[in-house]
Amino acid sequence: MRRLVLGLPTLAGVIIVSFILTRLLPGDPAVYFAGAAPTAEAIAELRKTLLLDHSLWDQFAAYLVQLARGDLGRSLVTGQPVVKDLSLRFPATLELTGTALALALLVAVPLGVAGALRKGRAIDHICRIVSTMALSMPAFFTGLLLVFVFYYLLGLAPAPLGRVDPMAFPLAERTGFILLDAILAWDWSSFRDGLAHLVLPASALALAGIGPLTRVTRGAMLAVLTSDFIRAARSYDMSRWRLVYVYALRNAMLPVLTTGGFVFSFLISANVVVEKVFSWPGIGSYALEALVASDYAAVQGFVLAVATLYVLVNIAIDILYGIVDVRVRLAG
Amino acid sequence: MALTAALQDGFRRDPLTAVTAGFILAVCVLALIGPALTVYDPLATDPANALMPPTWLRPCGTDQVGRDICARIIYATRLDLFIAVSAVVIALAVGSVIGSLAGFFGGWVDRIAMWVTDTIMAFPLFLLAMGIVAALGSSVENIIYATAIVNVPFYARTVRAEINQRRDAGFVEAARVGGNGPFRILAFHLFPTTVPQLAVQMTLTMGWAMLNAAALSFIGLGIRPPTPEWGIMVAEGASFIITGEWWVALFPGLALVLVVLSLNLLGDGLRDMIDPRERR
């Protein structure tokens, strides 16, 4: 609870910054949405509904009142409430980012542990090369390379045009997660189709997370392996497997957990470019479209939603840390 | 000087870092004199020779309007380096001032400074940069400002931690007794001790600044075509990937990856040399 309160000033900062940012967007949305041949009255009317003729303070106050009601405004492009647009597209982003995170952890944790155990040996060099390469590859470039190799050259992957085959029979939407929906509908061809579309963008995104995750795991594991309690455990002639995987790894996961927020920020940023490369209909490509159309409400809603999510992730990590680490829990 | 000696010794023990330092130097030289060396004009279109695959004469092929990709990559080097270097230098300057004041004076100065950096870091940084460029308008300066702003917290925090650690040290006390005012102590006695850490931080964030700027242009927010820039060139080549004209996107992307990779390797190497405690 105390941690939730600590997140509040940051959240206030986030609301202020996202408001300022979107008010600075170039172009007059009233002119933009009045259509091809705008009349002066139509523009004036639009300015009134958008509160553009009021002072910035009034606009901000109105915005706060809206926020308090859980209303993020209406997107000018789709004509839908922004909350609805975002929640409609959120599962696509979550499915992509979640799969990518799982993939990244599957590669990064074993690699980091192996690098730390065999410090200075071949596997450690591989660990260093992989993490440095992953940190140096922009996600949009890895995405394109994957498309070239697996779609154009090998023909194994479908065209990078969204989540499903446009010719396929549409799946009944229940959760918005294609894979989950397919399982619920007992529809294996849809499942295969969704998975085939997911593999490349998720791999491109996973690569963005592998860099930092591998480094942190290796560093944390090294620190734990040289600590007193491991030395003591060694002296008790404990089996190596038990020592490494039960005692050392569990303690090394703490620093990895604290960088979770950083990795999330990394992934969600890479997510925008990956969604663009693969025409993935998530909130990232939604925000890009909104930016181009200077769609205040949509951009604001997106920035606010992601930043809030980020603050919440950090709070959740703090709480988890407290649960895992007894020392923090006792210190309160 | 101790730093140069440490560098020389370090390069001898760590040849990979020496090689990457040499490569970065070569790229800088290319950025300066490259435009004088290219045979083709990076902006000259030649529809008759559009989308030509690489040959010996044109090692990177031509793009959709027949411009020489190799010439464009070389011209782009200057712009990409310029953006990354200026963004990092601005972030360094602003971050150092904020971090020094916060670390030295503490109290409400520290609280406000940390609130600002926490707020910036509460955004996924690339998205914040995206928002800033969209708000200020697409131009080279605005990409630089956006990249600088999202980098400021890292410098501010590094400097704050370093200064905070030493503000009650003996040499500071001695300087105070010697009649130095607080700002003088901060500028001439405390700040210089943070320089090695800052050098490492700079090399490590330079690569990230470059990726950030390239990604901004890739999504269409940065520099406008036809200006040659690696991110835009990859974006232009993106649509040809699925039809098999791989060279349009591959070569500028490779240039970007190579430079960022060497910057990251150099940053890691420098960190090991300057701060052996962190050697892993």
Q: Which residues contact residue B13 at a Cβ distance below 8 angstroms, ignoring those fewer than 6 apart?
A: none
The pLDDT of residue A2: 56
Amino acid in the structure at residue B204: L
What average pLDDT does the segment B258-277 reach?
80
Which tokens is A203 given? 């791999």
Cβ separation B135–A151 shorter than 8 A: no
The 3-class SS string of chain A reads: CHHHHHHHHHHHHHHHHHHHHHHCCCCCHHHHHCCCCCCHHHHHHHHHHCCCCCCHHHHHHHHHHHHHCCCCCECCCCCCEHHHHHHHHHHHHHHHHHHHHHHHHHHHHHHHHHHHHCCCCHHHHHHHHHHHHHHHCCHHHHHHHHHHHHHHHCCCCCCCCCCCCCCCCCCCCCCCCHHHHHHHCCCHHHHHHHHHHHHHHHHHHHHHHHHHHHHHHHHHHHHHHCCHHHHHHHHCCCCHHHHHHHHHHHHHHHHHHHCHHHHHHHHHHHHHHHHHHCCCCCHHHHHHHHHHCCCHHHHHHHHHHHHHHHHHHHHHHHHHHHHHCHHHHHHC
Collect all residues of chain B within an 8 Å Cβ-Cβ radius of residue A20: 135
Q: Chain A neighbours among B 110-149 (CB < 8 Å)?
A: 115-116, 118-119, 122-128, 130-132, 134-137
What pLDDT does residue A310 have? 80
C-alpha–C-alpha distance, residues B116 and B99, integer Å = 11
Q: Hey, are the CB atoms on A138 and B118 less than 8 Å from each other?
A: no
Quote the tokens at residue A206. Answer: 């996973």
Query: Over pLDDT 90: what percentage of chain B?
Result: 10
Tokens 């918005």 belong to which residue? Answer: A176
Give dist(CA B151, CA B133) in Å, integer. 15
Task: Determine contact: A35 vs chain B, CB below 8 A.
Answer: no
Distance from CA of A224 to the nearest CA of B (A): 13
For chain B, percent helix, then strand, then coil, each to nearest 5? 80, 0, 20
Q: Residue B217 is part of a domain; what is its CATH number?
A: 1.10.3720.10
d(CA B32, CA B37): 10
Chain A interface, mutation test: which of B14, B123, B265, most A Cβ atoms within 10 Å? B123
**Between chains, do B122 and A11 touch, taking CB under 8 Å as contact?**
yes
* Contact between B122 and A22 using a beta-carbon 8 Å cutoff: no
| Backbone phi, psi, residue A24, to 5° | -90, -10
Which string of b and e fits A21-58 if b means at least 16 CB within 10 Å?
A: bbeebeeebbeebbeeeeeeeebeebbeebebeeeeee
- The whole-number average pLDDT for the span B231-260 is 85
Per mean pLDDT, which range of A4-18, A189-203, A269-283, B62-76 is the poorest? A4-18
Question: Two tokens at B136?
Answer: 């200020």
Q: Report yes or no: B69 and B247 within 8 Å, Cβ to Cβ.
A: yes
Split at pLDDT 50, 70, 90, the class of B185 is: confident
Higher pLDDT, A296 or A278: A278
For residue range A100-115, what is the model confidence (pLDDT) as tens digits? 988 988 988 888 888 8
CA B111 to chain A, closest CA, distance in angstroms equals 11
Each residue's pLDDT tens digit, A204-214: 899 888 888 88
Instruction: Name, in order, each residue with C-beta under 8 angstroms of B57's C-beta and a sequence gap of 6 or more.
Output: none
Q: B124–A277: do the CB atoms touch at under 8 Å?
A: no
- Secondary structure of residue B224 in the 3-state scheme: coil
A11 chain-B contacts, CB cut-off 8 A: 122
Q: What whole-number distance in Å separates Cα of residue B163 and Cα of residue B171?
A: 13
Q: pLDDT class for A29, splitting at 50, 70, 90?
A: low
Number of residues that this document lists for chain A: 332
Task: Decide if pLDDT at B25 tops 70.
Answer: yes
A307 vs A313: CA distance, rounded Å? 10
CB-CB under 8 Å, A21 with B135? yes
Cβ neighbors of A22 (< 8 A, separation 6 or more) are A296, A299, A300, A303, B131, B135
Q: Which domain holds residue B33?
A: 2-278
Confidence at residue A332, expressed as pLDDT on a 0 to 100 scale: 44
- Which two three-digit tokens encode residue A75? 């997107």
How many structural domains compose chain B?
Answer: 1
CA distance B24 to B270: 14
Chain B residue with the nearest C-alpha to that of A310: B122
Residues 6+ apart with CB under 8 A from B200: B267, B270, B271, B274, B275
| Least-confidence region, from A41-45, A134-138, B259-263 | A41-45
pLDDT band for position A26 (cuts 50, 70, 90): low
Q: Is the pLDDT of residue B32 over 60?
A: yes
Phi/psi of residue B30, nearest 5 degrees = -60, -40
Which residues from chain B sit within 8 angstroms of residue A118, using beta carbons?
A: none
Under 8 Å between Cβ of A132 and B265: yes
* Residue B94 reports pLDDT greater than 90: yes
For B150-180, the pLDDT digits (tens) are 999 989 988 888 888 887 778 878 888 887 8
Residues of B in contact with A307 (CB under 8 A): 122-124
In contact, A238 and A181? CB cutoff 8 Å: no
Average pLDDT, chain B: 82
Question: Quick one: tokens of B220?
Answer: 């269409």
Q: Does B239 touch chain A (CB under 8 A)?
A: no
Residues of chain B in contact with residue A268, where contact means CB-CB under 8 angstroms, are 124, 127
In tens, the pLDDT along A233-275 reads: 777 777 777 777 777 777 777 777 777 777 877 788 888 888 8
